[in-house]
Amino acid sequence: MMDIHPRHEHIVKTILRRHVPDAAVYAFGSRVALTAKPHSDLDLVIVGKEEIPIHCMHLLEEAFADSDLPFRVDVLDWHVIPDDFRKHIIKCREAICTGDGSR
């Protein structure tokens, strides 16, 4: 279970569905480990079939920055992060979107 208010989770999922509808997205970090403070950031990693184009990442980051979320959202692309960081994420992650439009 992720440490995020359901209203905020809805905002996050809406933005993700709009910008990366075909990618799986996982939360990791303090909000998944349940060690977050109220204004801790939300760490997300996008797992698409290929690297997300940089302009799409910028639009996604802008959408989160312009949203009503009371915390920052950090977004990473699975295809550009080091293997050791991938292993760290795999240990403690939670699916936010499955990439098939069902979540």
Catalytic residues: 41, 43
C-beta of residue 94 within 8 angstroms of C-beta of residue 2:
yes
Residue 90 to residues 2, 48, 76, 103, Cα–Cα distance (Å): 15, 15, 14, 19
The helix or strand, by DSSP H or E, that contains position 95, with its residue range, turns out to be strand 93-97
Cβ neighbours, 10 Å, residue 52:
21
Tokens of 57: 């990442």
Q: Would you state the torsion angle of the CA atoms of residues 18, 3, 37, 29, taken in this order, to the nearest 10 degrees?
A: -70
